[in-house]
Structure 1
Amino acid sequence: MGDVADSATHTNNWAVLVSTSRFWFNYRHMANVLSMYRTVKRLGIPDSQIILMLSDDVACNPRNLFPGSVFNNADRALDLYGESVEVDYRGYEVTVENFIRLLTDRWDEDHPKSKRLMTDENSNVFIYLTGHGGEDFLKFQDAEEIASHDIADAFAQMYAKKRYNELFFMIDTCQANTMFSKFYSPNVIAVGSSELDESSYSHHSDVEIGVAVVDRFTYYTLGFMEEIDKNSTLTLQDLFDSYTFEKVHSHVGVRTDLYSRNLSEVLITDFFGNVRNLVPDDDSVTNNHENDKELKSESTLLKIAKLKHNEALIQNTTTNPQVTKSKRINTDDAIYQGAVETYNVTLVKALGIFILVAFLFLLKTMSCSKTDTLKTTDISLYDEHVAIY
Structure 2
Amino acid sequence: MKILTLAVLLTILFSADSINVENSTKQFFSRGHTNNWAVLVCTSRYWFNYRHVANTLSVYRSVKRLGIPDSHIVLMLSDDMACNPRNPKPATVFSHKNMELNVYGDDVEVDYRGYGVTVENFLRVLTGRLPPSMPRSKRLLSDDRSNVLIYLTGHGGNGFLKFQDSEEISTFEMADAFEQMWQKRRYNELLFIIDTCQGASMYEKFYSPNIIALSSSQTGEDSLSHQPDLAIGVHLMDRYTFYMLEFLEDIHPTSKTTMKDLFKVCPKSQCVSTPGHRTDLFLRDPGSVLITDFFGNVRKVEITTETIDLTEPITLMEDKSKSGELRMESRTYGDQLPVSEIIHQKPKAKDWHPPDGFILGLWTLILLVFFKAYGMQHLKHIF
Instruction: Tell me which interval the TM-score lies in, with the shorter structure as reference length.
Output: 0.7 to 0.9
Equivalent of residue 168 in structure 1, options 166, 172, 191: 191
Counterpart in 2 of 1:326? Answer: none
Instruction: Give 3-state SS (helix, strand or coil) of 2:314's partner.
Output: helix
Deviations 1:82-108 (A, max 9, x none): 100000000000000000000000011
Q: Cα distance, 1:281 vs. partner?
A: 4.9
CA contact (8 A) 1:3 1:186 kept: no
Work out the CA distance in 2 between the residues paired with 1:116 and 1:53: 12
Letter of the structure 2 residue corresponding to residue 273 of structure 1? G
- 1:209–1:152 CA distance, 2 compared to 1 (3 A): same
Q: Does 1:259 align with 2:278?
A: no
Instruction: Give 3-state SS (helix, strand or coil) of 2:90's partner.
Output: coil
Equivalent of residue 89 in structure 1, options 112, 127, 137: 112
Q: How does 1:104-183 map to 2 (within 5 A)?
A: 104-183=127-206
Counterpart in 1 of 2:255? Answer: 232
Counterpart in 1 of 2:57? Answer: 34
More helix by share: 1
* More displaced 10-residue stretch of structure 1: 3-12 or 256-265: 3-12
Letter of the structure 2 residue corresponding to residue 158 of structure 1? M
Q: Does 1:55 align with 2:78?
A: yes
Q: How does 1:191-210 map to 2 (within 5 A)?
A: 191-210=214-233
Work out the CA distance in 1 between the residues paired with 2:30 and 2:267: 29
Q: Does 1:22 align with 2:45?
A: yes
Counterpart in 2 of 1:43? Answer: 66
Q: Cα distance, 1:48 vs. partner?
A: 0.2
Letter of the structure 2 residue corresponding to residue 191 of structure 1? L
TM (norm. structure 1) is 0.74
Counterpart in 2 of 1:386? Answer: none
Work out the CA distance in 2 between the residues paired with 1:280 and 1:48: 24
Equivalent of residue 302 in structure 1, options 329, 337, 347: 329
Q: Cα distance, 1:75 vs. partner?
A: 2.4
* Structure of larger gyration radius: 1
Letter of the structure 2 residue corresponding to residue 295 of structure 1? I
Report the aligned-residue RMSD.
2.7
Deviations 1:265-296 (A, max 9, x none): 100000000013623456xx68xx59995734
Runs of 4+ aligned structure 1 residues displaced above 3 Å come to 1-5, 289-294, 296-301
Work out the CA distance in 1 between the residues paired with 2:147 and 2:284: 13
Gaps of 5+ in 2: 1-20, 319-326, 332-377
TM (norm. structure 2) is 0.75
Instruction: Give 3-state SS (helix, strand or coil) of 1:9's partner.
Output: coil
- 1:292–1:19 CA distance, 2 compared to 1 (3 A): farther
Instruction: Give 3-state SS (helix, strand or coil) of 2:329's partner.
Output: helix
- 1:292–1:112 CA distance, 2 compared to 1 (3 A): farther
Q: Cα distance, 1:7 vs. partner?
A: 5.6
Work out the CA distance in 2 between the residues paired with 1:274 and 1:29: 25
CA contact (8 A) 2:157 2:199 kept: yes
Instruction: Give 3-state SS (helix, strand or coil) of 1:189's partner.
Output: strand
Work out the CA distance in 2 between the residues paired with 1:141 and 1:301: 65
Q: How does 1:337-352 map to 2 (within 5 A)?
A: none
Work out the CA distance in 1 between the residues paired with 2:133 and 2:193: 31
CA contact (8 A) 1:136 1:178 kept: yes
Instruction: Give 3-state SS (helix, strand or coil) of 2:151's partner.
Output: strand
Counterpart in 1 of 2:208? Answer: 185
Counterpart in 2 of 1:346? Answer: none
Letter of the structure 2 residue corresponding to residue 266 of structure 1? V
Instruction: Give 3-state SS (helix, strand or coil) of 2:97's partner.
Output: coil
Matched residue pairs, number?
Answer: 306
Instruction: Give 3-state SS (helix, strand or coil) of 2:60's partner.
Output: helix
Work out the CA distance in 2 between the residues paired with 1:131 and 1:21: 5
Counterpart in 1 of 2:358? Answer: none
Deviations 1:96-147 (A, max 9, x none): 0000000000011111111000000000000000000000000001000000
Gaps of 5+ in 1: 305-356, 362-389
Work out the CA distance in 2 between the residues paired with 1:28 and 1:98: 23
Work out the CA distance in 2 between the residues paired with 1:61 and 1:148: 32
- 1:98–1:292 CA distance, 2 compared to 1 (3 A): farther
Q: Does 1:79 align with 2:88?
A: no
Letter of the structure 2 residue corresponding to residue 220 of structure 1? Y
- 1:301–1:185 CA distance, 2 compared to 1 (3 A): same
Letter of the structure 2 residue corresponding to residue 257 of structure 1? D
Work out the CA distance in 1 between the residues paired with 2:56 and 2:304: 37
